Amino acid sequence: MTTNQGVYKYPDGDEYKGEWLEGKRHGTGQLSLADKSTYIGHFDQGYCSGMGVMAFSDGSKYEGEFQQGKFDGVGVFTRSDGMMFEGEFKQGKVSGLGLLTFADGTNGLPRNEGFFEGTKLVERRKTTDVVTRARQVGQRARAVQL
């Protein structure tokens, strides 16, 4: 099976530029949504999957791993106000080890580092390896080219 390059404008205003396989987004591409959000990265059978960067219309951004169209794996999420979470995500939500950094560059006292479930820190512990991996994955996601 070979992939083809192409552009498609959806009726709702979304647009996809990139690789296709059997009528589905597959390979590397850019999805521009009608709300001005964009995703640049890898697709698998129509879904954002693998490395990618999702930039939202409000100025927030996720750089990292995706699975079945959701944040899943490790990555870096930066809110539009500059607050950042570096760590693990599952099914589109913060879930697992990570580090929360406020817009002023601080991590809070005591440090907001450990095991998170959504927005709640449930166990404090060192996360150096996970945070390092999340930063590396974020950097690789930013390097994805069309």
pLDDT tens digits for range 56-99: 999 999 999 999 999 999 999 999 999 999 999 999 999 999 99
Inform me whether the pLDDT recorded for 1 exceeds 80: no
Inform me whether the pLDDT recorded for 48 exceeds 90: yes
Compute the average pLDDT of residues 117-140. Answer: 97
Residue 30: predicted pLDDT? 98
Residue 140: predicted pLDDT? 97
Inform me whether the pLDDT recorded for 13 exceeds 80: yes
Average pLDDT, rounded, for the chain: 96
- 32-to-81, 101, 113 alpha-carbon distances in Å: 23, 29, 34
> Could you tell me what percent of the chain has a pLDDT over 70?
99
Its pTM stands at: 0.94
Distance CA 137, CA 62 (A): 11
Distance CA 97, CA 87 (A): 6
**Residue ranges of domains in the chain:** 13-142
At 102, which amino acid appears? F
Inform me whether the pLDDT recorded for 108 exceeds 70: yes
CATH of range 13-142; options 2.102.10.10, 2.20.110.10, 3.10.20.740, 1.10.287.610: 2.20.110.10
Instruction: Determine if residue 8 is left, alpha or beta; phi over 0 gives left, psi from -120 to 50 gives alpha, anything else beta.
Output: beta
Compute the average pLDDT of residues 29-45. Answer: 97
| Inter-residue contact 100 to 108 (CB < 8 Å) | yes
Residue 138: predicted pLDDT? 97
Q: How confident is the model at residue 145 (pLDDT cuts 50, 70, 90)?
A: confident
